[in-house]
Structure 1
């Protein structure tokens, strides 16, 4: 499973979206004047983020534009001269959610406080699909005594959410940080514990958030543990020692993502690495050029996007609250943009 597939915006747990078919999507070429707030954005900052991943794009037109961008042209002029804004629509309203990189407290050796292991993937899990369930992994000795522990953390609920996000940081008591990223999974389908709480009648849909779930599990330790077992999927990690602490976690393009400049998209519609103009409405409107550098298992459709909010608790709270409408416009190379239009009948 792609690394980015585990970076779910936390509010997505309440949504199950059927994938759209590419032939059902309409395409409209807009002008840059149609983009609300375009002139006010920091285009140079967006160009720098584009340069993080454009060398990894394979198609010739993208690679040519990347070579031009590496010459550091005037950023706004570069985008306006070589791209056209394309509005893709399936007849569904746009939905923006958020994701983040959690930071947990941990240790390299277990003790009375740090008792919950962050595991590497065992070789048998790679060879068997599906492998053991979450319950079997956590309640048996199958993982113990094998040197598979990367670290131990102090909160099983935060560890569960780390698996949902798929990457994070573990801060040690000496101030050092271990960065971890997605390495594999046990092959069982993800089941939403937010949806389960709603189905049990404990909360209504509009009440459920990441913090609400965490607090309920902590207030009800035995029932809470059983609730976490409702999701049989289990994620294994690897250390990311080569990613500098000041950089973001690795996205689906295996490059660091950037706070409020990276967006996770559905690659069936939006090429990874493409510039995406985000017009997020609701509380704290956003008008900003971002880069499609990540994916998510619940990010399905031409107008679905997950905005990266950064690292730590504040970023997590902001990401967890986000569930807003708006629109997303993809900047495409000029010839590619016009090729997406339907053929005109004679």
Structure 2
């Protein structure tokens, strides 16, 4: 995933080709990964299931249950999906088709049918979903139905191809020996050790003017960059996640809380930025509290309306892509999400597609919602940390 969010997640993971995203400010910043609990029926014993080959049990007098490595799915009816009739399901169709370009195990036939279909309106779209897919309620292996949703976004940074003026903070490409050195150098060594800095200097892709914004890019795992070229021209491109130093991710929000600089309810991204403005002499201390360091690759941006590639390897769709724990929900799975808007009681109920992951996205009922890019996306992602319920839509057997 990308960074995080006031939900800043530790977005990138070794499995993610894009953000890893990544990313996600709130929950990741705070390191809050625990889901809410609720009273449920007696749990089903945990069962480890290979991806794409779930087992189905039908307890006596109960709905069928499909077991995965970190979750159990309970067969549900379409009527159980809160707000199902109120969303524009058709808006999620492009995201589903992108996932079907790389069908996950169990999706080959359904994706072939989806790629051949051409629903013209909501009625045709919903008819297709009902005919080919079956809703399943996602629960933890212990039967908990409530979890946590956070948000992430794709940041936009100003950068220069060569160091100039205030643009002195480097962003690096992948070291050729990264795979042979596990773990690689820490953030403190990469940014503070003269010998390590000299060794990595040929890998510098771009230079930014704000160390905290560079950290945002590292956490989100991918970002758009307005690059100032040596000839004076500026062009829009993407720096995508290409790897990390295999060091543990540490939340800077949690660090400030543990140091007594912020209270637990205050570690949002705006408050962290405010702290940094008031404490410029302690910026290095704050940044080096997180030893994780991300490396990037430069990509063209042929379609500015598409997001970075997530862990599934397909472009993310703003408002319709989520990051999940792939041990709970496989990539490419349509998911009905039931939550609320950030800092609001307004329902956020919509059809999304699981297309990404992140090292902070762990658990059965856990999702990171991709808001897109721009100031509003950043603001929404930074505020998002709501209770969540999920239903997967899985191909009928």
TM-score (norm 2): 0.79
Does the aligned pair in 1 maintain the 2:70–2:327 contact within 8 Å?
Answer: no
* Structure 1 pair 161–97 and aligned structure 2 pair: CA distance change class (3 A): same
1:1-346 correspondence runs (5 A):
1-3=14-16, 4-12=19-27, 13-17=29-33, 22=68, 25-59=71-105, 61-71=106-116, 72-73=118-119, 74-90=124-140, 91=144, 93-141=146-194, 142-144=196-198, 146-173=201-228, 174-241=233-300, 244-281=303-340, 283=344, 284-335=346-397
- What secondary structure does 2:392 align onto? strand
Map Cα deviations across residues 97-155 of structure 1 (whole Å, 9 max, x no partner). 10000001111111112111111011133320011111111113324474312111111
Q: How many residues align?
A: 334
Deviations 1:293-344 (A, max 9, x none): 0111111111111000011222111101011113111111123xxxxxxxxx
Is contact 2:21-2:356 (8 Å) kept?
Answer: no
State the shift of 1:252 in Å. Answer: 0.6
Q: Residue by residue, what CA displacement relative to the aligned partner does 1:255-309 show, whole Å, maximum 9, x if unpaired? A: 1100000011111010100000011125142111000001111111111110000
Alpha-carbon deviations, 1:42-86, whole Å to 9, x = none?
222212210011121242x41111111112243111111111111
Unaligned runs of 5+ in 2: 1-13, 36-45, 48-67
TM-score in terms of structure 1 length: 0.91
How far, CA to CA, are the matches of 1:94 and 1:251 in structure 2?
Answer: 22
RMSD: 2.0
The structure with the greater share of residues assigned to helix is 1
Cα distance in 1, alignment partners of residues 281 and 190 from structure 2: 17
CA contact (8 A) 2:34 2:147 kept: no
Question: Is 1:6–1:163's contact at 8 Å kept on the other side of the alignment?
Answer: no
1: CA distance between counterparts of 2:69 and 2:210?
46
